[in-house]
């Protein structure tokens, strides 16, 4: 019985040790697949955009509503594949938005600034400028429209 317990404990330890190492080793692309570039992450999670999923979910006179699939890699994720929605306005002046599922509202992405320009600690910077969402929208606009989204 001790041997079985020791074996199970060792396997659990190795699993816990390998998950973050595997995720952090996937620097630029998920499992080396260029269809899944790294577009965000912080501390214990990483987000990889699924470029093949980028699509226009809805269109009207004002904006395109974009649907973008992504994989979130972390130790705690049970269902890592998710979809994030964006509004990309046709007028070229209105800032794009993403849909925040947690607060059930559209959030405007402000002009992107570097950490040094913002001169604030990293966590408040992330909460204010939403760099993960901006990077994901940038990848989606490149895939759908063939454009480089301006900061």
pLDDT in tens, 65-104: 999 999 999 888 777 899 999 999 999 899 999 999 989 9
Q: Report yes or no on 82 lying in a domain.
A: yes
The DSSP 8-state label assigned to residue 47 in this structure reads: E
80 vs 25, residue with greater confidence: 80
Q: Phi first, then psi: what are they for 30, rounded to 5°?
A: -70, 120
138 vs 130, residue with greater confidence: 138
Spatial separation of the C-alpha atoms in residues 12 and 84, rounded to whole Å: 32
Q: Report yes or no on 9 lying in a domain.
A: yes
144: confidence class by pLDDT, cuts 50, 70, 90: very high
Q: Report yes or no on 66 lying in a domain.
A: yes
Count of domains forming the chain: 1
Q: Report yes or no on 150 lying in a domain.
A: no
**63 near 88, Cβ under 8 Å?**
yes
**108 near 119, Cβ under 8 Å?**
no
Spatial separation of the C-alpha atoms in residues 129 and 58, rounded to whole Å: 25
145 vs 116, residue with greater confidence: 145
pTM of the predicted model as reported, rounded to 2 decimal places: 0.76
Q: Report yes or no on 17 lying in a domain.
A: yes
Q: Report yes or no on 107 lying in a domain.
A: yes
Q: Report yes or no on 151 lying in a domain.
A: no
Q: For the chain, what percent of residues have pLDDT higher than 90?
A: 54
Assess whether pLDDT exceeds 50 at residue 11.
no
Q: Phi first, then psi: what are they for 131, rounded to 5°?
A: -65, -30
Spatial separation of the C-alpha atoms in residues 67 and 89, rounded to whole Å: 14
Q: Phi first, then psi: what are they for 85, rounded to 5°?
A: -110, 145
Residue 27: the pLDDT is 67
Assess whether pLDDT exceeds 50 at residue 129.
yes
Q: Report yes or no on 149 lying in a domain.
A: no
Give the domain extent around 95. 2-144
Helix 122-129 with 131-144: angle, nearest 10 deg: 40
Q: Phi first, then psi: what are they for 29, rounded to 5°?
A: -135, 150
């Amino acid at each position: 019985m001790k041997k079985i317990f020791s074996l199970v404990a060792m396997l659990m330890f190795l699993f816990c040790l390998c998950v973050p190492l595997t995720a952090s080793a996937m620097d630029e692309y998920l499992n080396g697949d260029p269809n899944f570039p790294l577009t965000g992450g912080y501390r214990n999670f990483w987000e990889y955009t699924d470029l093949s999923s980028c699509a226009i979910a809805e269109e009207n006179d004002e904006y395109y509503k974009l649907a973008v699939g992504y994989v979130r890699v972390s130790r705690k994720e049970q269902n890592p594949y998710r979809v994030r929605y964006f509004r990309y306005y046709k007028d070229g002046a209105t800032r794009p938005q993403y849909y925040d599922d947690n607060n059930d509202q559209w959030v405007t992405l402000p002009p992107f600034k570097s950490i040094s320009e913002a001169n604030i600690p990293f966590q408040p910077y992330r909460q204010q400028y939403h760099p993960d969402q901006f990077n994901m929208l940038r990848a989606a606009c490149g895939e759908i429209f063939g454009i480089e989204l301006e900061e």
